[in-house]
Amino acid sequence: MRISPEFLAELRYRNRIDEVVSGYVNLKRSGSTLKGLCPFHNEKTPSFTVYPENGSYYCFGCQNGGDVITFIRNAENLDYIEAVKWLADRSGLQMPQEGYDDSAERLRRTIYEINREAARYFHQCLLSEAGRAGLAYLKQRQLHMQTIRHFGLGFAPNSWTGLCDYLKTKGFREADMVLANVAGKGRNGGVYDRFRNKVMFPIIDLRGNVIAFGGRKLPGEDGAKYINTNDTPVYKKSKNLYALNFAKNAKSDALILCEGYMDVIALHQAGFTNAIAALGTSFTEDQAMLISRYAKELILTLDADEAGQRATARAIGILNKTGLQIRVLQVPDGKDPDEFIKSHGAEQFKMLLEGAKNDIEFRLLKIKNSCDMATDAGKLQYLDEGVKMLAGVDDEIAVNLYAGRIAQECGVDKQVLLLRIREHKRKIQGASRRRQLREAVSRPQFNDQVNPQERKFKRAAAAEQTIIAVLMRNAELLQQVKQQLSPEDFVTPFYSRVYDAVVQVLESGRPFDLTALSGQFAPEEMGRIVLLQNKSQVYQNAAAELQDCINVLKSEKAKMTFIQPEQMDDAQWAAAMQDIGKQKKNRGAV
């Protein structure tokens, strides 16, 4: 069941799209629209556009678009009802008690409640006799009780059903425990605790919900060092960051990205409350975009071993697309931040942070350290690899500066080095264009998941687009269309659905409002609908243009029927031929 149009209209009125989006994107006015860097994909040139006049947005880079509800669905990873509730809470609106299906929201709410109770259970166990070993481990790591409570740390006892039994007393079903991934399903049909004999780290989202757990084995135990919650209806590890719920409130424009939970907790305890960590996965573009919402600078403090260095290089490549300033902290003697602070104190670590190199300096130093600078061969290797690295840097001022440093270190002419960098950059750009061309040729054209029939029936789809776009702007033409077209007359199923939805809105006597459609279409479909709503062409004679497109669509539909004569009897064949003749005559008259 759908939420009432009256409620949605009030929701849209109270949540202006430019105001909501401004909480995620730095928008700048461009005529009647607003533009900024897209929050849904990495880009350096703004392609994300907000249309305050009709309450929509669209990114011309990744085709993400829709109304304010669609935006919150994508930005906060919510389903439709949850996004409506989010906006209602933001604007002080009371959700209607009836009229919508909230089953998905109820499931997510149940999992949140299971996680919250599980976190309480683990924390209580840590402070009990059953958690003595876990508490000893945390104290051995020099964590204060205040820190342990602040992060809600806990302990999963060495029991097969301790947590499951506890959750049953709270009224939770076994099936929901399994969905929350705090329990597993046994061969006999029963359930068992997924975390056993582990120090527990609750993972909390930006709204304060416990969404997942990380469990660390005790020293000397067998098995994997960490076990983490798998993806669930409330948790995607690639889209979240540990301790960002605390770090976003730190009075700093920078965030510190660490390797794991303990480094983050140690830094917070030492006063560096802007520390965060990825969650048992390689650093992702979604995590980079999330960081860019809350910081202008990111300091990487990943491990100094080979795996850590590879992770640092990969993270730099992802982060360079976000516009964030990047610096890399190298802790002396290969220690992690936790070890360094224990040995040298917070003040010394602060000095390390202040001296952290930017990403270009870090990469050049890594190249230099791999070359024997005492030999000509080593210098040539440094020059060659330095040219390749600087050719991938877009900032011309930075390229000029570091080319000068390399030239001075190797005793060569800076201009010669800059010429080599420009030549290599042209090679990179040429190779990139050829690769894009190959990919464009090899993949199915557009790979259209929203309306796959559009490519096959281009003429009909173009007519369908115009019919819908004209109706969105000219409600008075509804009867002209309805007398001649039904959704079944459309060739492509997607535009048929959109046409039907638009007609239903206009038949109710309301002007077209994108929000009225957002509950019926998936977020990726809403982007295509926004394109129709914001079609730049304004028709001088909308009625005539509309009629012409109706004629084209009927003709194309008739051709489709004509192509399959084996499915017609004689009367149908004659009718189809007569209809095609009429359509041609009508097109000539318009």
Q: Is 391 helix (H, G, I), strand (E, B) or coil?
A: coil
**Within its chain, how far is the Cα of 88 from the centroid?**
22
What gap in Å lies between CA 429 and CA 413, rounded to an integer? 25
- pLDDT value at 575 more than 60: no
Report the pLDDT value the prediction gives residue 589, as an integer from 0 to 100. 45
Report the pLDDT value the prediction gives residue 304, as an integer from 0 to 100. 67
Give the pLDDT confidence of 505-520 residue by residue, as tens digits.
999 888 888 998 988 8
Report the pLDDT value the prediction gives residue 4, as an integer from 0 to 100. 85
- pLDDT value at 565 more than 80: no
| Mean pLDDT along residues 127-145 | 96
Domains and CATH numbers, the chain: 5-91 (3.90.580.10), 104-235 (3.90.980.10), 244-363 (3.40.1360.10), 370-442 (no CATH), 458-589 (1.10.860.10)
Answer whether 0.85 is exceeded by the pTM.
no
Residues above pLDDT 90, as percent of the chain = 55
Token couple for 283: 């650093």
CA terminus-to-terminus distance, the chain: 43
Flag the least confident range among 7-21, 87-101, 123-137, 358-372. 87-101
Residue 245 near residue 208, CB atoms below 8 Å: yes
Give the pLDDT confidence of 463-476 residue by residue, as tens digits.
999 999 999 988 99
Residue 513 near residue 68, CB atoms below 8 Å: no
Report the pLDDT value the prediction gives residue 590, as an integer from 0 to 100. 38
Report the pLDDT value the prediction gives residue 563, as an integer from 0 to 100. 46
Residue 577's pLDDT band (cuts 50, 70, 90): low
Give the pLDDT confidence of 78-100 residue by residue, as tens digits.
888 889 989 999 999 988 876 56
The CA-atom distances, in angstroms, between 569 and each of 539, 561, 575 are 41, 12, 10
Give the pLDDT confidence of 220-260 residue by residue, as tens digits.
898 889 999 999 999 999 889 999 999 999 988 899 999 88
Q: Residues 6 or more apart from 337 whose CB is under 8 A from it?
A: 258, 263, 266, 267, 275, 301, 331, 349
| Mean pLDDT along residues 530-541 | 74
Dihedral sign from CA coordinates of 465, 466, 469, 475:
negative
| Mean pLDDT along residues 394-401 | 88
Higher per-residue pLDDT: 570 or 147: 147
Dihedral sign from CA coordinates of 458, 462, 468, 472:
positive
Higher per-residue pLDDT: 3 or 134: 134
Using alpha carbons, select from 8, 10, 15, 9 the residue that is nearest to residue 80. Answer: 8
Give the pLDDT confidence of 313-347 residue by residue, as tens digits.
888 888 887 878 999 998 887 788 999 999 999 99
- pLDDT value at 585 more than 80: no
- pLDDT value at 570 more than 70: no
**Within its chain, how far is the Cα of 255 from the centroid?**
19
Give the dihedral of Cα atoms 55, 60, 63, 69; nearest 10 deg.
-20
Higher per-residue pLDDT: 50 or 319: 50
- pLDDT value at 210 more than 90: yes
Highest mean pLDDT among 115-129, 288-302, 383-397, 406-420: 115-129
Residue 418 CB coordination number (10 Å): 18
| Mean pLDDT along residues 92-119 | 85
Give the pLDDT confidence of 441-498 residue by residue, as tens digits.
554 444 678 888 888 888 999 999 999 999 998 899 999 899 999 999 999 999 999 9
Highest mean pLDDT among 37-51, 237-251, 567-581: 237-251
Buried-state track 30-43, b at ≥16 Cβ within 10 A, e below 16: eeebbbbbbbbbbb
